[in-house]
Amino acid sequence: MHILPHWNWKQSDTVDVWAYYKNANEVELFLNGKSVGIRKKEGDALHVMWRLPFQPGTIKAISRKNGKLVLMKEVSTAGPAYKIELTADRKIIAAGKDDLSFITVKVLEKNGNLVPEASNLVQFEFTGAGSIAGVDNGNQTSMESFKDNKRKAFNGLYLG
């Protein structure tokens, strides 16, 4: 199950919250611990939606099948950028020029939540028997070079 979008908005904003799920027939959404309703699966739909006034805190979605818990996901309001987290797509890379490892870089706040509005510039460096093949952030309108060793985050994310 996924909850979209992030939960960093202005106090006056109204936000469409989407829960994408499978293997369940209903989803209940909570805002700061209070239920804002249950949405049931309709036909072949794999998502449900709520329109909520933004309040800082946490939204939590609980999916159920026949009343039994399937999965729970939470998204919390993020504070300012505090650290970066790097995650490789694998543990072993074959020697030579024919293998790549994609490194996902996330800008996180102090509690480990992704900072969805982060656009920090990060410079990538590599030591050892390899090289940086390219960097990206997923922003289709970015004019930054893929072949550079630095990139601004887009929605708190990079890929190197």
Q: Is residue 149 pLDDT above 90, yes or no? A: no
Q: Is residue 59 pLDDT above 80, yes or no? A: yes
**pLDDT at res. 111:** 93
Burial of 19 (0-12, 13-18, 19+ CB in 10 A): buried
Q: Is residue 117 pLDDT above 90, yes or no? A: yes
Per the CB < 8 A criterion, the answer to whether 46 and 20 are in contact is yes
**pLDDT tens digits for 63-104?**
999 999 999 999 999 999 999 999 999 998 888 788 888 999
Q: Is residue 61 pLDDT above 90, yes or no? A: yes
Confidence bin at 56 (pLDDT 50/70/90)? very high
Domains of the chain: 2-76 (2.60.40.10), 78-160 (2.60.40.10)
**pLDDT at res. 30:** 98
Residues 63, 65, 68, 70: is their CA dihedral positive or negative? Answer: negative
DSSP letters, 92-153, are ---SSSS----EEEEEEETTS-B-TT---EEE----SS------B-S-TT--S-TTSSEEE-
Q: Is residue 52 pLDDT above 80, yes or no? A: yes
pTM, rounded to two decimals: 0.80
Q: From edge to edge, which strands make up the β-sheet containing 14-20?
A: 2-4, 14-20, 47-53
Mean pLDDT of 9-28: 93
Mean pLDDT of 27-39: 97
**pLDDT at res. 1:** 85
